[in-house]
Each structure stands twice: as C-alpha cells, then as structure tokens.
Amino acid sequence: MDLSTRYMNLRLPHPLIAGASPLAEDLDTVRRVEDAGAAAIVMNSLFEEQIFIEQIMTHDHIDRIGDSFAEAASYLPDPAIFMRGPDQYLEQIAAIKGAVDIPVIASLNGTTPGGWLRHALLMEEAGADGLELNVYDLTSDPETSAQEIEERTLEMVRHLKAELRIPVAIKLSPFYTSLAHFARELERCGVDALVLFNRFYQPEIDPDSLSVDRTLQFSTPGELALRLRWIAIFSGRLQTSLGVTGGVHGANDAIKAVMAGAHGVQIVSALLKFGAEHLDKIRCGMIEWMEANEYESLTQMQGSMNLEHCPDPEAYERANYMRMLQGWSA
C-alpha cells in the first residue's frame, strides 16, 4: 500500500508523525519512536519566554535595560519549569539528528515578532529539517484587536520564511474570528503547513480548596471532530499542506483525518498512553482498512471527504447546525 504523502514540503513514507511532546526529550524514546515507524518527529517547544529569560540573564544586557529588568522579570515564568534552555535545545536537535534518520521538526512557541525568532536560524543550523511555530496565545487584554493578533503572527511568518531554508509550519488555535481568511493570509506569506489545532488546557476550579487545578489531561478521540471540520474546509481551497493534531488515537481517526484532507497526522496522547509502538498499530490498521476498502494509495483517499468532494457539504457549515437543532426529538 502506498501511504506516501507530502507534508511541509517533506516527502514522507506515510502521514503518521509523533507530535510535539516529551517523546523527543530523551534519545532512547526518540529511537523507539523511529523503530515504531514514525514518519517524522516534532520536538517539544522552546518558548519565547525561555529565550527572553536567557537574554536578560546576561550581565551586559541587564546593565543596558537597568530598572526595567525587575519589571520584565516579574512577568516571566520561573526558568526551573523548563526542561532545557535555548543552548541545550540546539544540542538536543543535533543529538536527535545523530541518533535517528527520520526528519526532525523543531518547535518554537511564541506570540510576538522580535529578536527571539533569530533562534529559528540556529535551529536550522543545528540540523532541524523543519520548524513548527506554535502561536498559542490567550489574549485577555481588551485593548488588543483581532487584527493586531493576526498581524503579529503574519509578521513572524514573513520573518521566518525570509530567514530560513527549511519548511515552516504554523500550529494554530481554532479561536480566530475568520479562520479561513487568516489561513489564506498565512498561505500568502508562504507557510508550508498549517497544523490544526492547539489544545487549550483549561484550568479547573476546586471549590473546596479554592485553588485552580492545572493537571494536564490527555486528549480524547472526540476532540478530532473540530479538526476534521476545518481540515475539510481548507482542503481543496488552500495549496499549503495540512497537519492534524488533537484526538488521533487509532487507525480510524487517522483515516478520517486523511479523508478530510490531512497530509500529516500528528499523534501525542495515544503514544504517551500506550507507548511509541502504538504508532505502528495505527499504520497497520490503516493499511488493513484501506486494503479491505480497495484503496491503492493514500493520495486516492486524501481529501475525498473534504468540503468539495463530500456528498453532503452542508454538514461542515451553518446549515448543519440548524438541521441538528431543529431535527432533534426526544
């Protein structure tokens, strides 16, 4: 079965990728991910805040910014929460590249254009085959408009595309006023893939202890539906490649994502839960299903259920909402 796909301008033997997570933290796990047959691995993110902390920690920089240091530092997270600093991150890229043959995608996580983005070039020099920029943001400032937020991201992408030779993917959240328009603008900036979607880890209030619980919960397959809808809407309308992240736990989920139009299928929770070897089960399950249903290649299946090819395109749009609400009966 020909499962080959083109994702982020990388030719991959199949679409299954180990998504950004601690799976890239140690080399033994990275080798297990490769042995399980992953087509590529995305490293966990290096955060803008980490790079900024390192910059302001250097003595001569502190002298230059003077009093503003204390104020700036008070907004920053405790450096101890990060597994490794910017220099160690580059060393980790080189170590992973030395340990495995699959493409290694570095990940930057930040929201503002600025000097910290120079780190992307260092990642490329350290051997990264691609860069995923995660623009996770939670803008609670009522003075910041949607346009400002989008423009900041577009500026980051323009900068990265001008500086880098390796492909650049953007990992987005679903919470944009006009996601389709924003995606088109990102495409115009030359982005090589859109990765849908970031998960928002919601804080939970404990009314007894009056505390906020921040426990990270793994995803459930139910989260895939939101991704399927948007991949299906973008597929056929955008030229850039599409990656799905969030809710892929089994072969059936991966098949649905590809039918919606995904070129890359990222998996994290299921691999952390069942072990890296689970990826091979998903790949074998896909082949089994495709053979049983007389597919010859992944390309044949890709986008077959997108907005343009789906027998019921209304299912992805507002009409579906009305039909569901009006059609319900006890």
Ligand X SMILES: Cc1cc2nc3c(=O)[nH]c(=O)nc-3n(C[C@H](O)[C@H](O)[C@H](O)COP(=O)(O)O)c2cc1C
Residue from 111, 219, 302, 306 that binds ligand X (CB under 6 A)?
219
The span from the CA of 170 to the CA of 192, in Å, is 8
**201 vs 321, which CB is nearer to ligand X?**
201
Considering the complex, state which of residue 68 and residue 220 has its C-beta at the smaller distance from ligand X: 220
Interacting residue with ligand X among 14, 17, 19, 253 (CB under 6 A): 19
- Least distance (Å) between residue 22 CB and ligand X: 5
| Distance from chain centroid for Cα 218 | 15
The verdict on 153 binding ligand X (CB under 6 A) reads no
Tell me the CA distances in angstroms from 195 to 86, 200, 276, 277, one per residue in order. 23, 14, 21, 23
- The minimum distance between CB 171 and ligand X, in angstroms, equals 5
Contact with ligand X (CB under 6 A) among 22, 79, 203, 236: 22
What are the DSSP E strand ranges found in the chain?
A: 5-7, 10-12, 16-21, 40-47, 104-109, 130-134, 168-172, 193-196, 204-206, 211-213, 241-245, 264-267
Tell me which stretch binds ligand X (CB under 6 A): 71-79, 96-104, 172-180, 264-272: 264-272
User: Which residue among 5, 111, 153, 245 contacts ligand X (CB under 6 A)?
Assistant: 245
Residue 223: CB minimum distance to ligand X, A = 6
How far apart are the C-alpha atoms of 146 and 38, rounded to whole Å? 37
Judged by CB under 6 A, how many residues of this single chain contact ligand X?
Answer: 21
Told to check if 134 binds ligand X by CB under 6 A, we report yes
User: Is the Cβ of residue 47 or residue 295 nearer to ligand X in the bound state?
Assistant: 47
Looking at 193, 248, 255, 305, which residue binds ligand X (CB under 6 A)?
248
Q: Which stretch binds ligand X (CB under 6 A): 19-27, 66-74, 113-121, 122-130?
A: 19-27
Could you count the other beta carbons within 10 Å of the beta carbon of residue 75? 8
Q: Return the range that interacts with ligand X (CB under 6 A); candidates 1-9, 63-71, 154-162, 239-247.
A: 239-247
The verdict on 156 binding ligand X (CB under 6 A) reads no
CB of 3 to ligand X, least distance (A): 19
CA-based angle 169:138:69, to the nearest 5?
95
- What is the CB neighbour count within 10 angstroms for residue 237? 14
Please, which residue, 191 or 307, has the CB nearer to ligand X?
191
| Separation in Å, CA 265 to CA 14, 25, 191, 278 | 9, 20, 18, 14
283 contact partners, CB below 8 Å, separation of at least 6: 3, 14, 16, 37, 251
**What is the C-alpha separation between 261 and 230, in angstroms, rounded?**
9
Q: Which residue has the tokens 């998504």?
A: 19
In the complex with ligand X, the residue whose CB is nearer, 119 or 171, is: 171
In whole angstroms, give the CA distance from residue 312 to residue 151: 35
Q: What is the nearest approach in angstroms of ligand X to the Cβ of residue 230?
A: 14
Helices and strands, counts by H and E, the chain: 14, 12
Q: By CB under 6 A, is residue 243 in contact with ligand X?
A: no
Q: Residues interacting with ligand X, by CB under 6 A?
A: 19-22, 44-45, 107, 109, 134, 171, 199, 216, 219, 245-248, 267-269, 272
